[in-house]
């Protein structure tokens, strides 16, 4: 049976630097690793990575975007803070800097122009249905896969902005917010889309799927206190992080049960005391250092044993 390969990338803002360094190291050992993927799935910063790779970019070139333009993307000013009352009534950052860079990178490229299949989650705050019984917010999965559900004409830079509009960090973009609200680890969603015969007439079976999931690093966070009598103001920022990060472990568990040894998850845990936020542009060097120090021995063995072979044994 032919193997169907999915490469998945978590969200995480500037932490995508860690993902990209890990990917660079893997590609150095297996140059065709990315090209062999039948589907590239990514959320938020992982969505930008997936779209960049499908656009033909090398991981080091995508990393250069983060390193060279990170301070433009996460740029704030005293005037913006004054209007936002110090982020109480406004997002931390304007997304115009990110929009500018994404337009420069992707130009007029549409999803249908990409060389590889992609799946990028976002969350639509208002589907605009003329039927009041159907008008609601809902998850949206942008894809250039087959069938009537493809989003071929949507500009790539817009999809990247939709999936990365993290609440409290960036403003809503054209009615969409960060895909991390529904699938910060898009692995399970990618499996479901791969199996959907409406999108692929020759869809694989579960037994044919191999999935490699790359995280963006995991900080050892916790909230102390057995009875926290918090309100909106105290819960606003930690709740966003809890919602985005909490679902990743669920997806990891589900993938392990669905795919068993055809699934691999690489998501390094940061050392105690190292807590890098998604807008921590001053920590890029630390992210590179951590990523270069990760032991990839078992990961490379799995890739060699499971990913590199085009077919499964009968």
Query: How far is Cα 105 from Cα 263, in angstroms, rounded to an integer?
Result: 32
- In Å, how far are 17, 41, 222, 257 from 192, measured between CA atoms? 28, 12, 32, 14
pLDDT at 80: 43
pLDDT at residue 77 is higher than 50: no
Least reliable range by pLDDT among 19-28, 29-38, 179-188, 273-282: 273-282
* DSSP letter assigned to residue 6: E
Asked whether 178 and 240 are in contact (CB, 8 A), the reply is no
User: Which one, of 197, 181, 160, 182, lies nearest residue 40 by Cα?
Assistant: 160
pLDDT at residue 165 is higher than 60: yes
pTM for the full model? 0.90
Confidence of residue 161 (pLDDT cuts 50, 70, 90): very high
Asked whether 133 and 191 are in contact (CB, 8 A), the reply is no
Q: What is the mean pLDDT of residues 181-195?
A: 94
How many C-beta atoms lie closer than 10 Å to residue 287's C-beta?
27
Confidence of residue 1 (pLDDT cuts 50, 70, 90): low
Confidence of residue 262 (pLDDT cuts 50, 70, 90): very high
Asked whether 180 and 43 are in contact (CB, 8 A), the reply is yes
Across the chain, what does the average pLDDT equal?
A: 87
120 or 278, which is more confident: 120
- Crossing angle for the helix pair 284-293 and 16-29, to the nearest 10 degrees: 40
Convert the pLDDT of each residue in 219-251 to its tens digit.
777 777 888 788 777 776 677 677 767 777 889
The token pair at 45 is: 């910063």
- In Å, how far are 15, 26, 214, 285 from 66, measured between CA atoms? 9, 19, 17, 11
Asked whether 120 and 42 are in contact (CB, 8 A), the reply is yes
DSSP string, 147-189: STT--TTSBHHHHHHHHT--TTTS--BTTEEETHHHHSSTHHH
Query: How far is Cα 77 from Cα 93, in angstroms, rounded to an integer?
Result: 9
pLDDT at 91: 58
């Amino acid at each position: 049976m032919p193997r169907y390969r999915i490469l998945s990338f978590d969200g995480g803002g500037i932490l995508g630097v860690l993902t990209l360094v890990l990917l660079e190291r893997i590609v150095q050992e297996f140059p065709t690793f990315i090209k062999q993927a039948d589907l590239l799935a990514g959320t938020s910063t992982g969505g930008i990575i997936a779209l960049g790779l499908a656009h033909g970019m090398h991981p080091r070139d995508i990393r250069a975007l983060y390193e060279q333009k990170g301070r433009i993307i996460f740029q704030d000013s005293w005037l913006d803070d004054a209007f936002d009352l110090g982020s109480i009534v406004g997002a931390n950052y304007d997304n115009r800097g990110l929009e500018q860079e994404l337009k420069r990178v992707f130009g007029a490229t549409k999803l249908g122009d990409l060389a590889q299949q992609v799946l990028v989650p976002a969350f639509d705050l208002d589907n605009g249905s003329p039927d009041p019984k159907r008008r609601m917010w809902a998850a949206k999965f942008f894809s250039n896969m087959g069938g009537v559900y493809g989003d071929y004409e949507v500009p790539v830079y817009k999809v990247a902005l939709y999936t990365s509009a993290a609440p409290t960090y960036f403003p809503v973009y054209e009615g969409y917010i960060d895909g991390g609200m529904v699938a910060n680890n898009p692995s399970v969603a990618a499996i479901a889309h791969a199996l959907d015969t409406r999108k692929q007439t020759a869809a694989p079976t579960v037994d044919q799927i191999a999935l490699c999931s790359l995280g963006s690093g995991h900080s050892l966070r916790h909230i102390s206190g057995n009875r926290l009598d918090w309100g909106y103001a105290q819960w606003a920022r930690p709740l966003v992080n809890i919602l985005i990060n909490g679902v990743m472990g669920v997806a990891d568990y589900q993938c392990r049960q669905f795919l068993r040894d055809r699934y691999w998850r690489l998501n390094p845990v940061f050392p105690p005391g190292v807590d890098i936020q998604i807008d921590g542009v001053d920590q890029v060097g630390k992210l590179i250092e951590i990523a270069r120090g990760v032991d990839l021995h078992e990961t490379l063995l799995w890739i060699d044993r499971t990913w590199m072979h085009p077919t499964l044994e009968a």
